[in-house]
Amino acid sequence: MTIVDATHGGATVQSATMRNVQRKASLALAAAFATSAGVHLVRPQSFASIMPRVIPQEHHTNLIYASGVAELICSVGLLRRTRWAAPASVALLVAVFPANVQMALDSGSGHGPADNPALAWGRLPLQAAMIWAALGARPEADSPHS
């Protein structure tokens, strides 16, 4: 079933099926955030090698813990579909993007969590899909007028 968003002059068309897929993707993102948060909080040293070089090393551990806490909070918000969860998750994904770039830049060097250049560089466009998934958790995403 296709629903036309009449509030925008019919410019936005999104099928009910696509909204359902996006909603399920937001649940998968919540699970990914929860899993990653656990690793951030239990083994922060796992992320030390992907910290951008421009951030002083003395701040790395605190930032890794903070991102783990933020992932955990976003995970809960995505599952509960709170109003703040989608924008907070998007902000988190944007905030950690430099670490993913650092991982890609360092790939193939013989060390680091994703030493395979194809995996490390392939991870970068995945951020866009994860942002799309986060937006599926908006309470209004189920409305035909979203």
Give 110's DSSP letter. S
The first and second tokens of residue 130, run together, are 């994860």
Structure tokens at 59: 């701040």
**Which of 23-32, 82-91, 108-117, 133-142 bottoms out in mean pLDDT, i.e. has the lowest?**
108-117
Judged against a pLDDT cut of 80, whether residue 12 lies above it is answered with no
pLDDT above 80 for 7: no
Percent of the chain with pLDDT over 70: 83
This prediction's pTM: 0.81
**9 in Cβ contact with 15 (< 8 Å):** no
Q: How confident is the model at residue 11 (pLDDT cuts 50, 70, 90)?
A: very low
Phi and psi dihedrals of 144, rounded to 5? -70, -5
Task: Give yes or no for residue 77 having a pLDDT over 80.
Answer: yes
**pLDDT for residue 79:** 95
Sequence-separated (6 or more) residues with CB below 8 Å from residue 19: 136, 141, 142, 146
- Please state, in angstroms and rounded to a whole number, the distance separating the CA atoms of residues 93 and 74: 10
